[in-house]
A and B are shown apart, each in its own frame.
Chain A
Amino acid sequence: MSRAAGIVVLSLIAAAGIAIGIAAGSVSIPLPELVSALLHPGSDAISDIVWKLRLPRVLAAFSCGALLALAGTLMQVLLRNPLADPYVFGISGGAALGVMFGMLLGLGTLMQTGLGLGGAVLASALVFGLSLRAGNWNPYRLLLTGVVVAAGLNALLSLILVLAPQTAVKGMLYWLMGDLGYAGNPLPALVVLVLLFVVAMPFAPAMNVLALGRMKAQSLGVAVSGVEVVLFGVAAVAAVTAVLVGGTVGFVGLIVPHLVRLAGFADHRWLLPGSILIGGGFLVMADTVARSAWAPLQFPVGVLTALLGVPILLLLLAGKNKDAAH
C-alpha cells in the first residue's frame, strides 16, 4: 500500500470516528437521518441534537486530540526522545493551576480559561527561561527542567484540591483527567489546528533530518536553531489550545505518534498529517464511549484514552517485536 493510499485510509478512520461520534449518544441517530440532518438542517429535534450538541462536541474532541497528537509528534522529534509528550514544558501543570484557581474562586468559564492560558504561558516561560539561562542549550536540560517544574506544579495542584470545598473537587478532578463536557464553541480550536498544520508542514523534511541530531542536521543544510524555535512555538500553542478545550487529556499526545509510526508512517511528511487524523479520530471515539457507554453516567475522556490507548499500543509493540525477531 502506498503512503498516499495509507493517508486516505487514515482519513476514512477519522471520518468514521466523527460519524459515529455524531450518531451515538443517549439518542442514537440512524445513518440516513444523520445525513439528512447534516445536509438539510431543519428545526426538528434531530437537527438540533446534531447541530447544537453532537457536532460541536465531536469537533471539539477532534481538534483537541489532533492538537495533542501534533504537539506530541513535534516534541518527540525536537527532544529526540520517544517519551516526550505535549506537556513537558509544564504547559499542562501551569494551565491546570490557573483553571483550578479560577474554579476555587468560583469564576466563570471565560475567566477560568484566561487564568489557564496565563498559567500555561508562565509555566512554559519558566521552563524555557531556566533551560536557556544555563547557556549551551540542549534538549535534555529542557526535558529535565520541564519534569522538575511539572512536579512542583503538581504539588500546588494537590494543595488546591485539598483546600477546595468538597462540591468543587469533582469538577476539578474531571478537568484534570481531561473532560470535553465543558468544551464550548469548537471553531477557535479548529482554526488554530489548521493554522499550526500549515505552519508545521513545510518543516516536515527538516524534521526528518533533525531526527539524526542537531549537528548532522546542520551539516545537511537545516538552519537548526530557527527550525527549533518555530516548532517549539507550534508545539506550545497546540498544547495550550488543547488543554483549554479539554483539560489535561493524557496519553493522546504520547501514544498517537507512536501508533502512526508503527503503522508505517515514520516519515514526518506523512507522520504529521497521520498523527492529526488519528489523534483527532481517536479522541472523538474515546469521548463517544466516555459519554454514551454508561449513560447517563459520563466519564472523563482522559480515563478512556488511557484505557483504550495502552492496550492498543502494547499490542502493536508486541507485533513489531515479533516482526523484528524474524
Chain B
Amino acid sequence: MLRTEGLRLAYPGRTLVEGLSIGFQPGDVWAVLGRNGSGKSTLLHALAALRTPQAGRVMLGDDVVENVPKRALARQIGVLLQDESRDFWGSVRDYVLLGRYPHARSPFGWSAEDEHIAQGEIEAMHLQGFGDRPFATLSGGERQRARAAALFTQRPDVYLLDEPLQHLDLPHQVAVLERLAHEARNRGAVVVMVLHDLLFATRYCHRFLLLFGAGRHVVGRAEDVLTGDNLRDLYGFPLVPVEIGGERLFLPERLSGEGPHV
C-alpha cells in the first residue's frame, strides 16, 4: 500500500536516512525507534508528503505521494504531528470536526454523518462533556486526546503518528494503542508510529524500524531486530531483556549508585 524506494533524507551537512526501502503492508503496525534527532519525525513527514526527500520516493499504490492531490491524499493518509499550535479558534468539537475536512462535500457546513463520526470519536477518547469547551483551555493530555479524536475522525487508511502517547495517562495510552491495533486488524490500516516506549512498542507493534542516525537503519520483526546489542547501539544505553508471562521485554539497566534503594 505505502512503500519507500531508496529514500534519502538529509539536512545540509547531516544525513538522517539513506537507501531506505520498506513496504508497509495493510494490517501492519510499525514502530519507528531511535534517539532524539535521528530522523524519525523527518521520515514521518516524508511519508506524508509534507517534505520532499533528497533522493528516492514514497509511493502510495501506483502514485508518488507528492503527486497525489492534497485532499485525496488526506483521505488516505492521516498524520498526528508531534507538535502543533495550541491556539485554536474554536471548541473541541470544532477541532475534531476538522478531521472531516478532506471528506466534506460542501465547504459550508458539516453533514450529519460528519457530526456523527466526530461525536463518536469524542466519546471514544472520553471527551464527552468537553465538546463545547474552547480547545485552547484543555490540559496537555486532554489536548492530545482531542488530537487523536480528530485523527480517527479523518478515517485514513494509513496512520502516521509522531509520539502518539505523549502527555497521555496510562489508560489513555492503552486506549489509543488498542484503537490503532483495531484499525490495523479490522480495517487493514497501516499504522506507523514513532515511539519512545519500548514496552508498548514490543506489545503492540509487528514491525520495527530502528534509526541509528547517519543513514544507518535496521528493519524487521521483533524477534529479529530487538536484541540487546541492537538496542544498546540504538540508544547508547544498556538494556536487559526480561521474560515476564511469556513476553520478552527490555528494561534499562540500573546505573550504579543512582536512584532510590529499597
**Residue ranges of A at the interface with B (Cβ–Cβ < 8 Å):** 80, 202, 204-205, 208-209, 211-213, 215-216, 218-223, 261, 266-269, 324
Contact = CB atoms under 8 A, between A and B. Distances in A.
A221 B101 contact: yes
A269 B108 CA distance: 7
Contacts, number: 70
A194 to B, nearest CB: 18
Given A204-B107, A205-B107, A267 B98 contact: no
A213 B84 contact: yes
B92 interface: no
A261 B89 contact: yes
Main secondary structure of the interface of A (DSSP, over half): helix
A324 B137 CA distance: 9
A317 B50 CA distance: 37
Interface stretch (B72-80, B204-212, B231-239): B72-80
B99 interface: yes
Contact of A212 (B71, B78, B85, B154): B85
B85 A209 contact: no
A212 B98 contact: yes
A215 B74 contact: no
Interface string B87-112: 11110001000110110100111000
B90 A267 contact: yes
Contacts of A213: 84-85
Contacts of A221: 70-75, 101-102
A163 to B, nearest CB: 45
A215 B94 contact: no
Q: Could you say which interface size class chain B belongs to? A: 20 to 34
Given A212-B88, A267-B89, A220 B50 contact: no
Nearest to A271: B89
Nearest to B90: A266
Contacts of B74: 219-221
Contacts of A266: 89-90
A205 B101 contact: yes
Most chain A C-beta atoms within 10 Å of own C-beta, residue among B50, B71, B107, B108:
B107
Given A215-B50, A218-B50, A223 B70 contact: yes
A222 B85 CA distance: 17
A220 B79 CA distance: 8
12 contacts: A205-B101, A205-B104, A208-B98, A208-B101, A209-B101, A216-B84, A218-B50, A220-B74, A220-B154, A221-B72, A222-B70, A261-B89
B73 to A, nearest CB: 7
Nearest to A266: B89
A140 to B, nearest CB: 13
B193 interface: no
Given A219-B48, A219-B79, A211 B108 contact: no
A220 B102 contact: yes
Contact of B81 (A208, A209, A219, A268): A219
A204 B107 CA distance: 8
Nearest to A214: B50
Contacts of A219: 48, 50, 74, 77-79, 81
